[in-house]
Amino acid sequence: MLHDRPKLIVALVAMLAIAGCQTASIDATETTSIAGAGRAMPGAADLVSAKTHFRQANYGLAEQHFRKTVEVDAGNAEGWMGLAASYDQLGRFDFADRAYAQALKLAGRKPRIVNNMGYSHLLRGERDKARALFLEARAGMTDTSVIDANLKLLERS
């Protein structure tokens, strides 16, 4: 019987190891999912990056991220407006005009968009068109400080 004892111990250890492996590989944890919880809107990360790059005057990188934003969500008027402003800063006024057209189509003729369009024409040296757009934007705003600053900039140029 003494000779059978080591075999019996080895057999018990083997059975415990096998039993342990079988139960350890099964995950019986119940999980649930809440739709949309913790998920950002499509293109949201690119929009945040785009705004950061634009504020830091990294217009090429801003343009890339704004473009990705509108590629993911073509209905994002803010993304189109940022893309247009980036194109303005890069001197790509042909692309800026297209992006402003999309922003207008999506959001309507909002004073902020019209102001940016005026600034675009100021950058191009089209003073009369810039003034007309600034005055249009000013008529629709309660706080006209940005428009007033743009009009002063127009006068100095």
Kindly state whether residues 51 and 71 are assigned to the same domain: yes
Sign of CA dihedral 109, 148, 122, 56: negative
Residue-level pLDDT at 14:
55
Kindly state whether residues 52 and 81 are assigned to the same domain: yes
Q: Provide the number of structural domains found in the chain.
A: 2
Kindly state whether residues 121 and 103 are assigned to the same domain: no
- Looking at every residue in the chain, the average pLDDT score rounds to 85
Kindly state whether residues 126 and 70 are assigned to the same domain: no
What percentage of residues in the chain have a pLDDT greater than 70?
73
Position 10 in a domain: no
Residue-level pLDDT at 33:
43
Position 113 in a domain: yes
98, with CB counted inside 10 A (0-12, 13-18, 19+), is middle
Position 79 in a domain: yes
- Residues 127, 131, 132, 137, Cα dihedral to 10°: 140
Position 83 in a domain: yes
Tell me, yes or no, if the pTM score tops 0.75. Answer: no
Task: Retrieve residue 117's tokens.
Answer: 């369009």
Position 19 in a domain: no
Kindly state the average pLDDT of the residues 28-56: 71
Band (pLDDT 50/70/90 cuts) for residue 28 is very low
Kindly state whether residues 46 and 74 are assigned to the same domain: yes
User: Which residue has better confidence, 12 or 74?
Assistant: 74
Residue-level pLDDT at 66:
97
Position 146 in a domain: yes
Kindly state whether residues 47 and 74 are assigned to the same domain: yes
Residue-level pLDDT at 44:
84
82, with CB counted inside 10 A (0-12, 13-18, 19+), is buried
- Domain span holding position 84: 41-108
Taking a C-beta distance cutoff of 8 angstroms, is the pair 47, 79 a contact? yes
- CATH number of the domain where residue 95 is located: 1.25.40.10
